[in-house]
Homo-oligomer: A and B are copies of this chain.
Amino acid sequence: MYQELQQHYGYLFEDELLQEINNVGTYRDIPEGLKLIEIGDYIKSMPLLVSGAIKILREDDEGDELILYFIEQGDTCAMTLSCCLGNSKSEIRAVAETDTKLIMIPVSKMEEWLGKYKSWQQFVLQSYHNRMTELLEAIDTIAFLKMDERLFKYLKDKAMVNHNDLIHVTHQEIARDLHTSRVVISRLLKTLEIDGKIELHRNNIKVIDL
């Protein structure tokens, strides 16, 4: 684990902190599709992403979903931070978008380190800042873009975090993430294909105009 820590977080944290993380952190290998956090969960530890990507979702009373954003390596989930430090329930759902490696840090330690390591404090504040920015971007997307633009952005983002322009997904799954209906997505996808921006296949979409 120390190798990967060094590699992905070495530029952020001093050796002593890396050592501490190495001592108390739990290394976890997460398969694609696994639900990491459910809405209402109490969070007992905080993940540091080593590789892979995680999809963050919001849900309303009726169970309708909406994707907020993806987080990638070097990130942590500021929602988790928020919940840990506030000792409150999770407001979001987190699902592994790809196979993912991460290191779990117990809450107690992250609080202790806040006072102890300046670099940790910086990291936590920076994470809050990043997540805030991404939430604002999510708001921009929902509020200012039309569905066809949102759809194309979604496909590009998904291609990005998967490091692959061929996306394995069904129309129905997209519809759930974007909080609309399958028919609407099929219709808009067809238009995107006609415009030469994507290629449609069963269970797969190839993003051309990246």
Interface residues of A (CB under 8 A from B): 58, 60, 64, 66, 68, 78-79, 82, 85-86, 88, 91-92, 114-115, 118, 121, 124-126, 128-129, 131-133, 135-136, 138-140, 142-144, 179
B-chain residues with CB within 8 Å of residue A142 when the two chains form the complex = 139, 142-143
Give this chain's copy count.
Answer: 2
Give the docked Cα–Cα distance between A133 and B82 (Å). 9
How many whole Å from A135's CB to the nearest CB in chain B? 4
Does B144 contact A64, Cβ atoms closer than 8 Å? yes
B-chain residues with CB within 8 Å of residue A88 when the two chains form the complex = 129
Does B86 contact A143, Cβ atoms closer than 8 Å? no
Cross-chain pairs A/B with CB under 8 angstroms, 8 sampled: A64-B144, A82-B132, A85-B125, A85-B129, A88-B129, A115-B115, A142-B142, A144-B179
Does A139 contact B138, Cβ atoms closer than 8 Å? yes
Give the docked Cα–Cα distance between A140 and B60 (Å). 7
Say yes or no: A78-B132 contact (C-beta < 8 A), given A58-B140, A143-B66: yes
How many whole Å from A38's CB to the nearest CB in chain B? 16
Give the docked Cα–Cα distance between A58 and B132 (Å). 13
B-chain residues with CB within 8 Å of residue A144 when the two chains form the complex = 60, 64, 66, 179
| Residue in A68, A82, A85, A139 whose Cβ sees the most chain B Cβ within 10 Å | A139
What are the 6 tightest A-B residue pairs by CB atom distance, in nearest-first order? A60-B144, A82-B129, A135-B135, A128-B128, A86-B129, A85-B125
